[in-house]
Structure 1
Amino acid sequence: MRWQWFVFPPGCRAVAVLALGLSVRAEATTYYVATNGLDTYAGTNLAAPYKSIQRAAVRMVAGDCCFIRAGVYHQTLAPSHSGTAGGPITFSAYSNEVVTLDAADAVSGWAVWSNGIYQAPVTWSLGAGYDQVFVDGAMVHQAQQPAYGNGDVFHPGTAVVSVSSNNVISSAAWSGKPDNYWAGAWFVGGVDLMWAWQTARVISSTGSTITVDPATETSPWFSGNGRGFLWGQLDFLDADNEWQLQTNANTNTLYLRIAGGADPSTHTVEMKSRNWCVDFNGQSYITVSGLNLSAGAVRVVGNGNVLQGCRAQFLSHFLGFNSGYAEDGGVQQGGGVVISGTSNIVRNCTLLNTAGCGVKSSGTSNLITRNLIYNTDYSGTYAACLVIEGNRDTVTFNTAHSSGRDILRPGGAGLDIRFNDLSDPGRLCLDLGVIYAWGVLSQGTGGPGTRIAFNWIHDNLHPVPSPLIYLDNYDADFIVDHNVCWNSGGDAGVRINGPALGHLIYNNTLFNCSDVGTFTYQQWPTSNPNPAFWTNSVYQYAASNNLFLSASPATQLVNWTNEDFQLAPGAPAIDAGVVIAGFTDGFQGRAPDLGAYEFGALAWRAGTQSRPTLAIAKSGGGFELEASPDAAYYTLAATTNPAVPSAWIAVTNRPSVSGIQWSLALPGPAGTACYYRLQTE
C-alpha cells in the first residue's frame, strides 16, 4: 500500500462508509516449509516445518497460509484447492527471507572428456533446443558455430550469411569442412526484412553452403543477406561456457566446458528439468508473494489469483520454434507469466532474461501493474515484454525495456494501457514498434477501444520502419492520447498504416521523431485478417492537439533530458489547443494546451517508480484537493485518527484529464486535524 498524508487543522466532516465483510473459516491453518524440514512433521509449527512446498500445497484450503523459509527449492509450486475472495490461499516468503524456486536440477558425476571438456550423466531432457544449463546461477550456452562468445542474450556469435530462394544458405564461416559435415545441425538467423528470426534443419552441406529442409523452415522465411549460427552437434563444443547434450534411449550425457577448462565438480552446475516454477493449476483466489523464481515459467490460470513481489528470471528458453510469428515460441511456457481467466493480478514483480514473453495475458479484466520487465524475446520471435490478448485488461505503471522485437503488443479489446515507461525494442528484429499492433479491432464487440494514454514511449533507434507507437495494417479504434514519444530512428512517433479506421490521436508530445502520420503503408487487400470487417482500403483517423517539436524539445519543455516534459512558461503550446470532450476536461487557462501535459496542472510520471501527487486549494468555507491524473488508480481516504487503520474512510474520486478533484467541506471543532492519503488497496 502506498500513501501520502495531508493535515488540515480546521477540521473535517466524517463520511459514512459501508464495509462489506466476507467470512473466512475460523480454523484457517498456517503451514511452514524449510529446507531442513521433514514432510513427516506436522508442518504447522515453525520448529517442525515441512521440507517440500507441495506437501503443504495439497493440504491447504481457503484461508490457509504457507510461510516458506530461506533456501532453494527444486520443485514446482502447484496448489490443489482454490481459496475464496475473502479467504485466499497464500504462499509467501517467511519474514522477507530469500526463497528461490528453481526449475533446474543439479548435475553431478563429472569426468574429464577432452580439451577442457567434462562429461556427466543426466537422466532428463526437455527436448532439443529447450534444454538450458547454468553454472553458478549464470546461463551458459549450447555449443554453436560460430561460438557464442561473451555477448549478452541479444548478442550471440553469428556469421555473415546469404539465404537464397532454393533453401541454400551460404557463409564463408562454413567452408573448409567435408561434405555433409554440417548435416543434422540447425540454422538460426536474422535475414533481410527480419520481422522475426528464422530456423531450419540442415540436410546437406558442401563447401561454404548448406541446404536446409523446406519442411522445417519457419515463417516468416526471408531470402537475402543476414547473420546466423548453427547449433546441435557435439563437434561445435570448442569454447568456454558452452555445452552439448547427447541423448540416447538409455541415458543422456552432458558435455560442458567452463571458463579455463575448470572442473565442473568445483562449481554448481544445473540443467533445466521442469517448465514451471509456479503453476496455479486452474485454481482460484491463490496469492504467491515475495519469491525468487529461476529457470521456469508461471502459469496463472483461474480467477482472482495474485502474483506479487516476485523476481523471475530465465522464465523460458528455446532455440527452435515452429513459427517466428508465435509470441511464445509455440510452447505455453514461452509466455513467461502466462495469465488466463478473470481478475488475476501480477504486480510489483521483476521479470528478466527470457526467450519468450515477460507476460502473456488472455482472459478478461486482468491487472498487470508496477512490474519491471526487461531482456525478453532473445529468440527473436514475435514475443514481447508484454503481450496482452485478453479483453478489458489493465496495464499500468510498468517499466519495460530491451526486447528482441516489440515491448508491448496490445492484441485484445478494450485494454487500458496507462502510465507505463516503455523503451528499447528491436534488439534482434526489424520493422517494429515500442508498442505494436497488427490486425487488431481494439473495440471488440462493444465498449470503448483500447486506450494507450499517459505513457512514456521512447528509443526505437533502428532503421525505418521504427515508430514508437506502431498501428500497423488492419487496426481499428485505438485511442492514443497524452503520451510522450521521443527518439525514433527517423520514423513517426505514431505511425498509422492502412487499412485503418477510427483511431483517435490526441494531445501527445512528440520529439526527436517524425510527426503523427508522416509515414504510411497500405496493405489492402493482402493478408486481410477479417474480410467481413475490412471490405475496402479505408484510411481514417482523427488527430488533434498533438505537440510536435521535431528535434527541438528544449524550445517548449521544461527539462526533457531530466524527464520533465511539462510546458515551460510562455511556451506557444499553452492555450493553443481545442476542446475535445473527454480528453481536455478540466483544462487550465483560456483553452486546452497542446501536448501531453497541461500547463498549471499537476505533473504525472510513468513507470514503476511513479507516484501521484496532491495539492490543496482552499476557497470559501471549504477546500479542494487535486491530484495528478495517475491518481485515477488510487483511492483518497480520510480520517481524524491515523493511528487506527479501520478509521480511514474513502472519498469519491472526480476524474478529469488534468487531474482528480475533490471538493470538501471544513465543518467541525476548531483545531481538529484531518488526514488524507492516497492508497492503492
Structure 2
Amino acid sequence: MKRLFVLATVAALLALPAQAQAAGPGRNYHVAPWGRDQAYGSPTSPFRTIGACLSRVRPGDTCLIHRGTYREQVTPPSGTKDAPITHAAYGDGPVTVDGTEPVTGWKDVGGGLVAADTKLPLDSDFNAVFLDNDRAPEGRWPNSGSDPLNTTWAEADPTSTDQHIDDPDLPAADWTGATVHLWAGSNPWAQQTGTVTATAPGNLDFKGGNHRCPPLCMGNQNYRNYYLVGSKAALDQPGEWYYDKAAHRLYLVPPKDGMAGHTATAKHRIWGMDLSNTSYVTVRGLNLWGTSLRTGPSSTGVVVDGLHATYISEFSTLPMPPDSDLAIPPSEGHIVASRILDSGVQILGTGNTLENSEISQSAGDGVLVRGTGNTVTDNYIHDVGWMGSYTPGIEINGNDHTVTHNTIRRTGRASIDTAWQLNGTEFHGNRIAYNDLSEAMRTSRDGSPFYVCCSLNGSGTSIDHNTAHDADGQVGFYVDNYSGHFLLHHNVAWNTGSRGTFFNGHTGPSIANQDHNSSYGPGINGNSVLLSGATDASGSYLSNIVGPQPVSASRTGDPPPVVRSNLISEQPGYTDAVNGELWPTAGSPVIDAGETIDGVTTEVRGAAADIGAYEYGEPIWSAGCSLPGCRQRVRHGTWTATASDGTDASAAVDGDINTRWTADTAQAPGQSLTVDLGESKTFDRLALDAGRDTSGQPYGFSVSASHDGTHWGKNLARVSGRSFTQDAAFPTRTARYVRITLTARGPVPWVVNDLRLYGEGPDASTTLQAEQGTSVVGAESGTAATGALGDGDRIGFGRASMSGDRLTVRLASTCTSGCTLQLRLDTPHGPLAATLPVHPTGSADTWQEQPVALSRRLTGIHTLYLVAKGGPRVAALDWLTIGE
C-alpha cells in the first residue's frame, strides 16, 4: 500500500510544474524547510513554515511549497470567487503536512517494555502511534496482524450475557478499564464498544454498547465475537503501545533490536489542514500523514486537487452520536452512525471539490460529503472503515452532490453509504456514477458496497454506471428500509453474494424505486434484483435487466410494480463474466430485446434497446478512477487448484464467491492449496475469501510462489487473524504457481470461496479503456472513448503489466487509406512494438475490433502509447488489449 501511495505522489508532483499552477494575477510566495519565517518569501529567501505564508497571502496569491515535511496545522484564509488563494506543491519533491510529533526519551521500564513521558493532546480515543513510519497497533487481545482489516476476534462462550463475557481463553490479567469491541448478536448489523468494569479468570463484565438484545448483544447468539484494547495488559508483541493518560506516559513493546535506530511519532493534530472557515481556496499536490483535511458548513469554492492522505483518522471506541448530531429522534439503533461526523477527509459546505486524490488508512470514513452541490471525482479511496461502524469509503449526506469516477476498495463496511440518522430523509438530486466499488464489507455482514438507509426520499437522484464486485456482504446495491424514489440504471455487479440489487421494504413502503439496464454476473445466488417486504411498492419499475437469477418484486401498490423485458440466463453472451466484462458479444440474446425508458436508454442501436448495462455497438464504458493504483485486480484466467488432502479444490478458483472448497480435516500446519495460474502473472497481494460464514478461515498461513511448480522460494508472507477475507501482501512477484500453506492449528477444516490476486497497475492482458488512459494528447476523452485522434495525437497508459503477442484495438474510423496506430513502449517515441493498419469502420460512430501481431511477445511492466499516424482523423478509440 505504501508503494502505491509513493508512486501516486510522485506522478502527481511530476505533473505539476508548480510555476504553471500559480493562481492568476496575485503574488507568489515560496515556503521551504531551509527558509526563515522572517524572510521575504521569494524563491531565494523562502518562508520556513506554511503558516508564515498564510499570514501574508491575500486573494489571488499563491503559496508555493517546496519539498519537505511540515509539522503544523494549516488554516488558510479565504480568497474570493474571482481571486482564490492557492496552496500548491512547488514540484521539486513530496510536500507532507504531518499531524504527528516525534516521541523521544525512551527508557526501559521492565517486563519487556519501554516508556516515554509525553503529553498527547488528543482524547485517548483518537491517539495513534507510528513506528518507523508505519502504524503501530494499540495493544490488543487477541493479537492481530498489522492489517486492521484482517481482524482476529475472540469468541465468547454461549453462557455469556448482555454485559458479561465468559471465555476460558481470556488471559488472566486485570482488564478493568479496557475497551471491549463487540461484533455480536443474532444478526449483528452494527458493532459496539463498552468499558470493562470487572475481571476474573475466564470472564469479564462491561458496560456500554447498545445492548439491544436481540439482535445486537453478547449472549447465546449466532455471533459472539469480541476483542480488547486500551489496556497495558495487552502489550505482548513488538510495536504494540498503551498510553497512560493520567501519568502522561506512553508504553511500547520495542522492536526486537531495541529502540536504537528506530523512530516513533504520535498523533497531535486531527485536522492538519483545517479549512472549516475557509472559502475560495485551492489546495493542490500536497500529502497528509497522520492527519486529515476538512472544509466547513459555510465553505464554498474550495478545490482540493491531487491530495494524498494516509492514516487520516484513528479511534478505538464507538459511542452513540450525540443527539445534536442526529437529524431524526434518537434511538439505540443509531449507534451505527458512530464516528461518521468526526473522521475522514471532510468536504462540507456548498460547491466544493475533491479530485485526483488518494485517501487511505482510516478507522472511519474515507471521505465525508455534506451540504449541497459538492463534487468528489477521480479519487482512489482504500483501506478505510476498519472499526466496523457505518463509516464507508464515501459517506454522502445532503443534496445535489456529484460523486463520480472514484475507485473504492477494501472497506470495513460499505464503499458508498448515506446515514439517514445524520442526513435526514432527503437525498435529492445526487449523481453517483462511474464508481468502481470492490472488497467491501470486510468487518461486517449486513450491507453492501452501495448502501442506502433508511426512509430516504431519493427524488432526482441517479445511481448509474457503477460496478460493484468481490464484496463480502449480501448485495451489490442495497436500498434499505422504506426508502423510495431511487433511480438505478446501467449498473454492474458480480461476486456480491445473494443479490445484485435489493430494495428492502422491510414491512413498510418501498415506493417508486427503479432499476433499468443493469447487468449481473456470477457470484449472485439469490436474485439478480429483488424488491421485497414492501407494504406499498407503487410505481416501482424493473426492466432491461440481465442476470443469472430471477428479477422479482412485491405485488403491492397502485399502480403495482412493473417487472418486464428482463433476461434471466446463465449464458447471456457476456464477453468474460468471471473478469467482470459483462458486455454482450455478437449474437447475444440481449441485443435489441429491451424497451426504451425515457431518460435512461439514451443510446439505441438497431431495432430496439438492448437489455443490460451496455448497448451493443456503442463504446464500452468503465468505472473507477484514472490514478495509479486504481486498477489492481489481476485477470482471472484458466486457473486450477490442487489440495494437499486430495479433495476437489476447483471451487476455490472458479471466480464465484458463492461456491466453496472445504478441506477434509481440521486445520493443521502443512496443509496446502497450490494454484496454477496457467501463465505467469505479476502480483503483490493475495486475498483468501471465506464467504459469509463465520468459521473456516485459516488460523494462520504462509504464501510462496514458483515459476515451475517444483522450485519454491522463501515465504512471501505469513498471515494470522481470522477475518472473512484474509490478505497477504508482499513485494511484487511474477510467478505461475502460488501455494498457500497452513501454519497453525484450528478446530474446523479451512474453507476458500474465492482466491484473488492483485497487482500494481492494470493487467494489460485485460481491456485498457480509453477513458482510463493516463494521458490523451490531441483529442478529448469522454466517458467511454476518445474523440478522433489525428496525425501525431496519442493516448498513454501508465505502468501496464502485460503478457502477449497480439494487439487488439476497438476503434471507429472514416479514414480510407494511409492511417495507422503505432504501439510504442515507455515514451511516445519509444520502441515500436506494433503498427496497426486502420481500416474504415463505416462511420465515425461504428465500432470494430481490429487486431495485429506484435513484432515480439511483450512481458513485464511498461507505459504504453498508441500514436496516430496518417490523416487529420485517424480513429477514435474505445479500448485496447494485449493478449494471445
Q: Name the CA shift for 1:629/1:34 in 2 (closer, same or farther; >3 Å).
A: closer
1:121 corresponds in structure 2 to 117
Residue 188 of structure 1 aligns with an amino acid whose one-letter code is H
Using the alignment, how far apart are the partners of 1:202 and 1:217 within structure 2? 14
Residue of structure 2 aligned with 1:102, choices 98, 118, 134:
98
Q: Name the CA shift for 1:368/1:71 in 2 (closer, same or farther; >3 Å).
A: same
Q: TM-score scaled by structure 2?
A: 0.62
2:239 corresponds in structure 1 to 241
Unaligned runs of 5+ in 1: 1-23, 523-535, 615-624, 643-659, 662-670
- Mapped contact 1:315–1:354 kept (Cα < 8 A): yes
Unaligned runs of 5+ in 2: 1-22, 321-332, 420-426, 550-567, 627-768, 774-778, 794-843, 846-869, 878-884
Q: Alpha-carbon deviations, 1:261-306, whole Å to 9, x = none?
A: x332421100001111211132111111111111112102210101
Q: 5 Å matches for 1:194-209?
A: 194-209=188-203
2:518 corresponds in structure 1 to 508
Residue 500 of structure 1 aligns with an amino acid whose one-letter code is S
Using the alignment, how far apart are the partners of 1:152 and 1:39 within structure 2? 40
Q: CA deviation at 1:555?
A: 4.3
Q: Name the CA shift for 1:555/1:289 in 2 (closer, same or farther; >3 Å).
A: same
Q: Does 1:427 align with 2:425?
A: no
2:610 corresponds in structure 1 to 593
1:542 corresponds in structure 2 to 541
Q: CA deviation at 1:46?
A: 1.2
- Mapped contact 2:350–2:372 kept (Cα < 8 A): yes
Greater shift, 228-237 or 324-333, is seen at 324-333
Q: CA deviation at 1:629?
A: 5.1
2:798 corresponds in structure 1 to none
2:466 corresponds in structure 1 to 455
Residue 98 of structure 2 aligns with an amino acid whose one-letter code is D
Residue 186 of structure 1 aligns with an amino acid whose one-letter code is T
Q: CA deviation at 1:637?
A: 12
Using the alignment, how far apart are the partners of 2:399 and 2:502 within structure 1? 23
Q: CA deviation at 1:103?
A: 0.4
2:757 corresponds in structure 1 to none
Q: 5 Å matches for 1:197-276?
A: 197-214=191-208, 221-223=216-218, 224=221, 225-248=223-246, 252-260=248-256, 262-276=257-271
Using the alignment, how far apart are the partners of 1:677 and 1:303 within structure 2? 38
Residue 426 of structure 1 aligns with an amino acid whose one-letter code is M
Q: Name the CA shift for 1:546/1:436 in 2 (closer, same or farther; >3 Å).
A: same
Using the alignment, how far apart are the partners of 1:319 and 1:274 within structure 2? 17
Residue 347 of structure 2 aligns with an amino acid whose one-letter code is I
Q: Alpha-carbon deviations, 1:490-510, whole Å to 9, x = none?
A: 234344434211111100001
- Mapped contact 2:503–2:513 kept (Cα < 8 A): no
Q: CA deviation at 1:405?
A: 0.9
Using the alignment, how far apart are the partners of 1:458 and 1:274 within structure 2? 36
1:11 corresponds in structure 2 to none
Q: Does 1:186 align with 2:156?
A: no
Q: Does 1:482 align with 2:490?
A: yes
Using the alignment, how far apart are the partners of 2:204 and 2:512 within structure 1? 48
Residue 152 of structure 1 aligns with an amino acid whose one-letter code is D
1:333 corresponds in structure 2 to 342
Q: Alpha-carbon deviations, 1:102-132, whole Å to 9, x = none?
A: 1010001111122432111112231222111
Q: Does 1:556 align with 2:564?
A: no
Residue 476 of structure 1 aligns with an amino acid whose one-letter code is G
Q: Alpha-carbon deviations, 1:609-653, whole Å to 9, x = none?
A: 365499xxxxxxxxxx9986558xx9x8999999xxxxxxxxxxx
2:283 corresponds in structure 1 to 288
Q: 5 Å matches for 1:602-621?
A: 602-609=619-626, 611-612=770-771
1:468 partner SS:
strand
1:525 corresponds in structure 2 to none
2:718 corresponds in structure 1 to none
Residue 236 of structure 1 aligns with an amino acid whose one-letter code is A
- Mapped contact 2:790–2:871 kept (Cα < 8 A): no
Q: CA deviation at 1:674?
A: 8.4
Residue 573 of structure 1 aligns with an amino acid whose one-letter code is V
Using the alignment, how far apart are the partners of 2:207 and 2:872 within structure 1? 77
Q: CA deviation at 1:41?
A: 0.8
Using the alignment, how far apart are the partners of 1:40 and 1:176 within structure 2? 59
Using the alignment, how far apart are the partners of 1:403 and 1:593 within structure 2? 34
Using the alignment, how far apart are the partners of 1:331 and 1:127 within structure 2? 17
Q: CA deviation at 1:607?
A: 0.6
Using the alignment, how far apart are the partners of 1:497 and 1:423 within structure 2? 25
Q: CA deviation at 1:141?
A: 1.1
Q: Does 1:313 align with 2:310?
A: yes
Q: Name the CA shift for 1:517/1:454 in 2 (closer, same or farther; >3 Å).
A: closer
Q: Does 1:142 align with 2:138?
A: yes
Q: Name the CA shift for 1:605/1:277 in 2 (closer, same or farther; >3 Å).
A: same
Q: Name the CA shift for 1:47/1:257 in 2 (closer, same or farther; >3 Å).
A: same
Q: CA deviation at 1:436?
A: 0.6
Q: How many residue pairs were aligned?
A: 586
Q: Name the CA shift for 1:171/1:87 in 2 (closer, same or farther; >3 Å).
A: same
Q: Name the CA shift for 1:327/1:639 in 2 (closer, same or farther; >3 Å).
A: farther
- Mapped contact 2:162–2:217 kept (Cα < 8 A): no
2:51 partner SS:
helix
Using the alignment, how far apart are the partners of 1:378 and 1:240 within structure 2? 21
1:417 corresponds in structure 2 to 432
Residue 273 of structure 2 aligns with an amino acid whose one-letter code is V
1:235 partner SS:
helix
Using the alignment, how far apart are the partners of 1:310 and 1:469 within structure 2? 29
Residue 545 of structure 2 aligns with an amino acid whose one-letter code is N
Q: CA deviation at 1:185?
A: 1.5
Using the alignment, how far apart are the partners of 1:218 and 1:141 within structure 2? 30
Using the alignment, how far apart are the partners of 1:377 and 1:161 within structure 2? 24
Residue 172 of structure 1 aligns with an amino acid whose one-letter code is P
> Percent identity over the alignment?
29
Residue 472 of structure 1 aligns with an amino acid whose one-letter code is D
Greater shift, 119-128 or 381-390, is seen at 119-128
2:532 corresponds in structure 1 to 520
- Mapped contact 2:499–2:528 kept (Cα < 8 A): no
- Mapped contact 1:358–1:386 kept (Cα < 8 A): yes
1:54 partner SS:
helix
Q: CA deviation at 1:206?
A: 2.6
Residue of structure 1 aligned with 2:481, choices 458, 473, 492:
473
1:571 partner SS:
coil
Q: Does 1:345 align with 2:343?
A: no
Q: Does 1:33 align with 2:31?
A: yes
Q: CA deviation at 1:189?
A: 2.4
Using the alignment, how far apart are the partners of 1:433 and 1:176 within structure 2? 39
Using the alignment, how far apart are the partners of 2:267 and 2:594 within structure 1? 57
1:491 partner SS:
strand
Using the alignment, how far apart are the partners of 1:485 and 1:453 within structure 2? 12
Using the alignment, how far apart are the partners of 2:593 and 2:274 within structure 1? 53
Q: Name the CA shift for 1:313/1:627 in 2 (closer, same or farther; >3 Å).
A: closer
Q: CA deviation at 1:676?
A: 12
- Mapped contact 2:395–2:416 kept (Cα < 8 A): yes
Using the alignment, how far apart are the partners of 1:564 and 1:127 within structure 2? 48
1:293 partner SS:
strand
2:527 partner SS:
coil
2:664 corresponds in structure 1 to none
Using the alignment, how far apart are the partners of 2:154 and 2:871 within structure 1? 74
Residue 512 of structure 2 aligns with an amino acid whose one-letter code is G
1:50 corresponds in structure 2 to 47
- Mapped contact 1:605–1:611 kept (Cα < 8 A): no
Q: Does 1:389 align with 2:406?
A: no
